[in-house]
Amino acid sequence: MKSNKTNKQYPVAWPLALCYGLGVRLRNLCFGLGILPSETYPIAVISVGNLSAGGAGKTPLVEYLVRLLSPRYRVAVLSRGYRRKTKGYVLASASSTAREIGDEPSQIKRKYPSITVAVDGHRRRGMRRLLALPEAERPQVVVLDDAFQHRYVRPSLSILVTDSHRLFTRDRLLPVGTLREPRSGVRRADMVVVTKCDPAMKPIESRIIEDELRIDISRPRFFTSIAYRRLEGVWPEECPARELSSLGADTDVLLIAGIADPSPLIEELRRHTEQVVALTFPDHHTFHRTDIDKIRAALKKQRPETLILCTEKDAERLRTTPLFPAEWHARTYALPIEATFLFGASSRFDEFVIRHVETIEKSHILRK
């Protein structure tokens, strides 16, 4: 497994990390002592977050929870809406774009239009707005996306995710590493999910990771991998879906990837075709004219039938980019992903979450 990179080349980063760590510890202490208030709610509030900055596989787990709970409950997803162009609280609609609510909330709303999706950098205000919705629309369960450090809202269930390739135990505090808070923050988690695992991971390998993470035995631990689904047209009316297996060994692919770590995606595509050219951009990247020019230059070196592939997040941003030429629409696909549980643990995870929501629901009824 890969170890996390640290900012060793900048000596000033270490004292900054020390100061940052002291500040975070003081903040957490204030929450622990009740000096800073955490608000609780009469419904199940499930937080999905991580200790590190950057992609750790939160969104696939949020979507898994949506698929699990939405057939039984009115579900809302509340996110910060990172890199959106709007401010404050925004309740997503079917026509909301990544510019208005952020790429990941836009992706979730597009895939699961029947649920409520809202964004607000102030999660406590966002929760109040959601609970003020008309009774028929008011959520019975709220899933908080990337909210482990947003402690003004106290979740009823806190799920911490950590990337199997970048375990938090091998990381350092910002700005030396990518940790948002000390590793001891794991103690606030009710459950830990190790994400992006090799689908062929052996039980002994998972036990080695558990030993390294030093998770309290009372906290459930799960391991997930990424499953790649069929290719979906970014403009579906012009580009029908097709199976990933339809890519032949000589299919030319230009991959556009604005995500934290595109290497697993590139590796997956190269299992299907040897002709993969990857253009990588920063996570949540906004595409500008210079980026479109790079894509055009790369396509000129390829055959005319070259497919353009991107992630679901990138697709949300490309749809609202007027600079993206219409003549490329018919060959531009997004590759959806889903979290899958290893070692047959999906039923155990499902039962744990549903039992939790039922317990919160029953306790609220008894308090009435």
Binding-site residue positions for ATP: 52-59
Q: How is the beta sheet containing 75-79 ordered, strand by strand?
A: 90-91, 116-119, 75-79, 141-145, 44-49, 157-163, 191-195, 221-228, 337-341
Token readout for 201 is 């991971």
Binding-site residue positions: 52-59
The answer to whether 181 and 189 are in contact (CB under 8 A) is no
- Strand runs labelled E in the chain: 44-49, 75-79, 90-91, 116-119, 141-145, 157-163, 191-195, 221-228, 232-233, 253-257, 276-280, 307-311, 332-335, 337-341
Name the β-bridge partners of 266: none
Token readout for 166 is 């970048």
| 3-state class (DSSP) for residue 147 | coil
Give ∠ CA 181-58-319 in degrees, rounded to 5: 120
Q: How far apart are CA 85 and CA 99, in angstroms?
A: 5
Q: How far apart are CA 316 and CA 334, in angstroms?
A: 9
Q: How far apart are CA 22 and CA 17, in angstroms?
A: 9
Amino acid letter, 351: E
